Amino acid sequence: MSGICVLLATYNGEKFIDEQLASLFSQTVLPNKIFISDDNSTDSTSSLVESWQKQYPNIIELHGNISGWHGHVGNFAYLCELAKKSQCEYFLFCDQDDVWYPNKIEELLRKCHSIEQISKIADKTRAVLVHSDLEIVDEQLNTRALSFFKDQKLPDSNLHSMPKLLIQNVVTGCTTLFNRALLEAATPLPKEVIVHDWWFAIVADLEGVTAFVDSPLVKYRQHDNNSIGAVKNENRIQLYIKAFKHLKLSFLQAKTLNKLYGDSKVNEIRDFVSFYKQPFGKQKALVQRLVNNPNCKIEKSLLYFALFLCSMYRIR
């Protein structure tokens, strides 16, 4: 079993899909397969992809999302199930509106291979996830920021592991490369998953190795129709509303993790899902362990908002 497979999710992406596909076929290391799942587009996305498929019939496979789970996460969940049926060993998530640097696959694959060699896991039995920084660009690909991590004031990825991953994800899906061991461990995606890349990041931390390439390898396009993107400036009320929603979803996701892993992996999962039962002093200590990045607006809000929430309500 060998080969590289790109997992590309599309929905009404006619405006940018050609540029993204062109960047995939400009890679210094080309993918062996590109699985594309279209989530019932109503524009010309499918016909544009079909034109590329005629040029590369042995590489591109176009599928319609027939899983019944639609939207951003559902479409990638379906792609993961398709990927498991392939003969490929390495996989990369891909959004329809970005542009990859020509050396993206090569750099991520080199990093992944080095981890496998150092860890002596050449038999590919241990989960590995590698991800990189991004260049933020506007709709016309003009640079807005050379580093997504610096622009969004994200914590050091090399130091961001469990239990902090229960609260904040620092892995952006379109920058990732992961091996089959992680694909098998992380899927099928539970319905409680907030974002597919966050779930993969948590499972990689629990099951194997995560590594960061500290340079941008993707032009991360920001436009009006982004499913997910760089956080814009928000006022304090907006931050606290977002913090509330984020905290609630994080609890639901952690509960699912707790059912899957329980005490077999980390006690922090159990502690987090029983957070509302803890005395205030323990709550404060736990939040300070979970939320350790004062420069991140969302985390900063969660630190205080979680304490307030748990003193007023019983979150179940």
| Confidence check: pLDDT of 272 > 80 | no
Q: For residue 307, how many other CB atoms are within 10 A of its CB?
A: 16
Q: How far apart are CA 208 and CA 130, in angstroms?
A: 11
Query: Does the pLDDT value for residue 34 go beyond 70?
Result: yes
Three-state DSSP class for 217?
strand
Residue 306 pLDDT: 61
**pLDDT at residue 315 tops 50:** no
Which pLDDT does position 281 carry in this prediction?
Answer: 74
Domain boundary among 221, 255, 277: 221
**DSSP letter string, 148-198:** HHHHTTPPPGGG--TTGGGT-----GGG-EEEHHHHHHH-SPPTT-S-HHH
Residues 111, 255: one domain? no
Q: Are 40 and 9 in contact (CB under 8 A)?
A: no
- Lowest-confidence pick of 81-95, 230-244, 252-266, 293-307: 293-307
Ramachandran angles phi, psi of 33, nearest 5° = -140, 145
Q: What pairs with residue 213 in β-bridges? A: 132
Q: Exposed e or buried b for every residue in 177-216, given b needs 16+ CB within 10 A?
A: bbbbbbbebbbebbeebebbbbbbbbbbbbbbbbbbbeeb
In terms of domains, do 212 and 64 share one?
A: yes
Return the percentage of the chain with pLDDT > 90, whole number.
61
pLDDT tens-digit series, residues 13-33: 999 999 999 999 999 999 999
Task: Look up residue 125 and give its two tokens.
Answer: 């039995």
Let me know whether 98 and 191 are in one domain. Answer: yes
**Reported pTM:** 0.89
- Domain membership flag for residue 230: no
Question: How high is the pLDDT of residue 316?
Answer: 43
CA dihedral of residues 5, 6, 9, 15 (deg, nearest 10):
-140
Q: Does residue 189 have a pLDDT over 60?
A: yes
Counting the structural domains of the chain, the total is: 2
Say if 106 falls within a structural domain: yes
According to DSSP, residue 228 is labeled S
The mean predicted confidence, pLDDT, of the chain is 87
Q: What angle do CA 149, 152, 156 make, to 5 degrees?
A: 40
| End residue of a domain, out of 221, 244, 260 | 221
Greatest mean pLDDT among 79-83, 122-126, 267-271 lies in: 79-83
Average pLDDT over residues 112-131: 80
The CATH number covering residue 49 comes to 3.90.550.10
Same domain, 152 and 257: no
Q: Using one digit for the tens of pLDDT, what is the confidence trace for 274-302? A: 776 777 777 777 777 776 665 555 655 66
Q: What is the extent of the structural domain holding 41?
A: 4-221
Classify residue 260: in a domain, yes or no. yes
Residue 315 makes CB contacts below 8 A (sequence gap 6+) with 247, 248, 251, 275, 276, 309
Does 149 lie in the same domain as 269?
no
Instruction: Measure the CA–CA gap between 261 and 241, rounded to whole angstroms.
Output: 30
Among the candidates 187, 221, 255, a domain finishes at 221
- Both 181 and 264 in one domain: the answer is no
Is 70 exceeded by the pLDDT of residue 210?
A: yes
Task: Say if residues 174 and 108 touch (Cβ distance below 8 Å).
Answer: no
Q: Rounded to whole angstroms, what are the CA distances from 26 to 11, 21, 30, 105, 239?
A: 23, 9, 8, 10, 40
